[in-house]
Amino acid sequence: MSRRRADELSRVMRSRLEKLEALRARGIEPFAYSFDVTRRAAPSVVAFEEMEASGSLVDGQGPQGRWAGRNVGFRSHGRSAFADLEDHTGRIQVYLKRNVLGDEAYELLDLLDLGDWIGVEGHLFRTRSGQVTVRADRIELLAKSLRPLPLGKVEADSGTGETRTWSGFVDRESRYRQRYADLAVNPRVREVFRSRAVIVATARRFLDERGYLEVETPVLQPLYGGASARPFVTRHNALDRVLYLRIADELYLKRLIVGGLDRVYEISKDFRNEGIDRFHNPEFTMLEFYQAFADYEEMMDLVERLFAALAEAVNGRAECSFRGESISFARPFARLSFVDALAGALGADPMELTLEELRNRAEELGADDLDGAGRGKLMDKLFGELVQPGLVQPTFVLDYPRELSPLAKPKRGAPGLAERFELFVAGEEFANAFSELNDPLAQRARLEDQAELRAAGDAEAQVVDEDYIRALEYGLPPTGGVGVGIDRVVMLLADQPSIRDVILFPTLREAE
């Protein structure tokens, strides 16, 4: 912040503090305990217009009520004034008149500022300019705003009457750090997080209706697993032991399938100690669901239905617009073989290339994080560079190399591959699923292979989890499992450019 801006802010805040003292000197507490709100802004306008259309207004007056919200606009006209009150539904104009409020109350308007929370009591009417307005009989200060909000300008379309807010808070880094201010001045940001809530609620309802049981599994785990990622490490003082923040829910959820809970899901916070970019935040939200007696083919059908339902819930149709592309979730989604697609891009069968050849191809493309990478990880890097960006419409990529999928069953008829799919949309991954490996001997061998990759330098390779193997030894029925990145789904359906735009308080570097 510039010195000039800091000085201006300091001056404004001193002025507001002086007003705070003046209010208390008059016996007015500027931070109320409560206010009985009976009406909301946007629904009140609709209700008035319905009464007006039906001819049920009396002398042009609409219903009585009590409204509360932020004061986001104020225009004084001597013995009368107009304020704009904003609540979570929208804005409504308030008409304040000296001979109605009384001299003492009206003079207190001089001590109000933009951003103050106010409550008003009165009735609705339509002004000569045609705006539905609250004619206030009483006004109450509910909370004094001591720091000015970065409010923008509101412009009304002369033809449609629709309003558009031009925010004064445009620096993205500041908006992420001060999300409370971002929400206060950007109605569209509030809508993004309402959409997020709709997505989570719809996913829950979708699975509940299909007999899934919502469960909770540990965030602090003695051994992390279920994905290829670096963990966050912590220590429990009383137990004097190292614990890890979970990187995935998978292994615990499959333990529950072993225990006889045949359809389970969890919407959870997971944590991966990795880089930050448009699609990655160290703390993120996952939906994982597992179904006994199903395979990845059945889970593909379920994922198609889920994504169509989520799009319908947010946009009213099984479509969305993302980065200027029109995306359709009409079933069935396209299906693409991982190996065939990569072979077409490389001009050679990746299953036949040597480890050195795969590494050379990846290095030529500028792929990073190749330390200790085995064949599977190298193929995944190549796929991400050469094929993934072209997958715009919803596409299931099927049958990954077995080395890349240590928790998935071998592909029937092609044991070098695994029964796994990932869903790609707009060039990004949104879901990952397996026919779950339920042979405990094969699972041990796969995890031991991962341990060798770790020893060779791959810090993201998985670890051997003896308790999970013991659970499999009791018997895991055939199972299909899916993981869906909720944050990415919100980005997609709300057309947001960065994961930070859909997480209320994203992880950020330390402020300078």
Are residue 241 and residue 365 in the same domain, yes or no?
yes
Same-domain check for residues 377 and 436: yes
**CATH number for the domain including 86?**
2.40.50.140
Which pairs from 124-129 meet CB under 8 Å and 24+ separation? 124/44, 124/47, 124/48, 124/61, 124/62, 124/63, 124/65, 125/60, 125/61, 125/62, 125/95, 126/48, 126/52, 126/60, 127/93, 127/95
pLDDT tens digits, one per residue of 458-497? 888 888 999 999 999 999 999 999 999 999 999 999 999 9
Separation between Cα atoms, residue 244 and residue 222, nearest integer Å: 6
Q: Is the peptide bond before 332 cis (omega within 30 degrees of 0)?
A: yes
Last-in-domain residue among 92, 126, 148: 148
CA distance 431 to 421: 8
358 and 210 within one domain: yes
Distance of CA 219 to the CA centre of its chain: 19
Are 313 and 439 part of one and the same domain?
yes
What pLDDT is attached to residue 61?
A: 93
Q: Which domain holds residue 201?
A: 190-289+302-501
Closest CA to 342 of 368, 362, 363: 362
Question: Between the CA of residue 412 and those of 379, 444, 452, what are the distances in Å?
Answer: 21, 20, 26
Domain check: are 64 and 199 in the same one? no
Residue 163 inside a domain? The answer is no
Check whether residue 412 and residue 307 sit in a common domain.
yes
The reply to whether 409 falls in a domain is: yes
216 and 139 belong to one structural domain: no
Report yes or no on 511 lying in a domain: no
At a CB cut-off of 8 Å and minimum separation 6, what does 130 contact? none
Same domain, 277 and 217: yes
pLDDT in tens, 138-164: 999 999 999 999 986 666 555 555 556
Cβ contact 419:457 at 8 Å: no
* pLDDT of amino acid 368: 81
CB 224 within 8 A of CB 231: yes
For tokens 């509360």, the residue is 68
Backbone angles phi, psi at 301, to 5 degrees: -60, -40
Cβ contact 108:73 at 8 Å: no
Residues in contact with 133: Cβ distance below 8 Å, sequence separation at least 6, in sequence order: 82, 92, 93, 94, 95, 124, 125, 126, 127
Q: Under a CB-based contact definition with an 8 Å cutoff, are residues 418 and 401 in contact?
A: yes
Cα dihedral across residues 30, 36, 41, 45: positive or negative: negative
CATH value at residue 245: 3.30.930.10
Looking at the domain assignment, is residue 164 inside a domain? no
Co-location of 127 and 271 in the same domain: no
- For the stretch 289-348, pLDDT in tens is 999 999 999 999 999 999 999 999 999 999 999 999 999 999 999 999 999 999 999 999
- How many domains is the chain built from? 2
Domain-terminating residue out of 148, 169, 202: 148
Q: Evaluate whether residue 195 is within a structural domain.
A: yes
- How would DSSP label each residue in 116-142? -EEEEEEEEEE-TTS-EEEEEEEEEEE
Q: Is 341 inside a domain boundary?
A: yes
CA 16 to CA 88: how far, in whole Å?
25
- The amino acid that residue 488 corresponds to is R
- The predicted model scores a pTM of 0.91
* Residue 183 domain flag: no
d(CA 244, CA 235): 8
- pLDDT value at residue 500: 97
Residue at 493 is within a domain: yes
Q: How many CB atoms lie within 10 A of CB 365?
A: 12
Q: What tokens were used for 455?
A: 């020893």
Residues 391 and 448 in one domain: yes
Q: Are 25 and 107 in the same domain?
A: yes
Statement to judge: residues 344 and 460 lie in one domain: yes
Backbone conformation region of residue 347, classed left if phi is above 0, alpha if psi is from -120 to 50, else beta: left
How confident is the chain (512 residues) per 10-residue block, as mean pLDDT?
A: 74 95 96 98 97 93 96 95 97 97 94 97 96 97 95 62 63 93 94 98 98 98 92 96 96 98 97 93 97 98 98 97 96 97 96 93 87 87 96 98 92 94 97 97 93 86 93 98 98 97 94 76
* DSSP assignments along 178-239, one per residue: THHHHHHH-HHHHHHHHHHHHHHHHHHHHHHTTT-EE----SEESS--SSS-PPPEEEETTT
End position of a domain, from candidates 148, 171, 199 = 148
Q: What is the DSSP string of 288-321?
A: EEEEET--HHHHHHHHHHHHHHHHHHHHSSSEEE
